[in-house]
Structure 1
């Protein structure tokens, strides 16, 4: 990506609506070097194909594209309606986008050693002040630090890697195959951020299956109730 998104920290008197959003920031890996060897028309066609994937896949998972700039995209989950599984939706959208971009071939001749297209993505959730956007600011103007953190996570991600903060995934992490939780010191942040690397979907489809995978908490002080259930089951 040749340009960066810029986000603003809200002033105390800023207008807008405070919302808890999950933000997905994706960027094309190695785009600067590709722009050097691709013809301008081929590069434009590649960007058009990339944007078509963004516009098709993000809404399919309940997200809204806030801004597309160059080959990068910022999507929000939780606006206009907040869902308890917004983190899961954003992560599933990222996984589908990564898979789709891996299958996208840029037009025109490609240099020896070209290994294909790939994204690197960051996901974070936090309180954001949402204003109406315009042609310059995109569909929404997002004020606060959460969009910056999502962008920093995308910067920290390697080629074809998805990094999701613990704030965005939480208990929803059990729906995915992830690496161990790790601490990441992001540029411009005073304290480390807990995050996961997401590799794919886990073989679970329901919340209870995810809870079993995580480990169920034992009942405490429910001996009489459990005994009554066992008696009822025996009678049945």
Structure 2
């Protein structure tokens, strides 16, 4: 039986022949936290007896949600985040470096076919380059920091086919707002969305990022787009050497 992109990524990451509904323990390729959740993540990490990160080069810490700091309490959290990243040799991005999701893509911390988690619901944005990326809670992030693993229920995939040429003054944001309004806030709960069709193929990567970013607004775990020549060219233009990633099989099963 054919597999979706999500099923292929979880099969690779878990070392099992994974299909929708399966519970797997998967190896995570990258993990991100930002200052908005940093205190909860760091507290959980220390409560679990954390001494070191499972793979420092795969962990990123970003100050972007309150930048610059608005008060003393936030400054204290950001100070602790800086110290945590320095102590554990994690990737660290200071105030003014950029928005966490843009940084993860542009700096080559996420590639097609990766399994990525973050302490932010819009981690699903990275699906635009063919990664299964999803937001998780603070204790789960802490557990990933320690072990590099996490359990997942492999989601079924909702295929959204978008066809046609966009008229002047209509942009990817307009497209995804229309889709969200149609699917509704809970219409894709615990599903992976796969955006496809001629409209998506014609979009540049920035436009695709806009689609994937709002998958969570439909309750989805992630919003995937099959990586293609545009994806690889975009990542190479930023100085990276990405793997090809995965595409869904023709006989893959969708919801």
Q: TM-score, normalised by structure 2?
A: 0.23
Which has a greater percent of helix? 2
**Bigger RCO of structures 1 and 2 (CA < 8 A, at least 6 apart):** 2
Larger Rg: 1
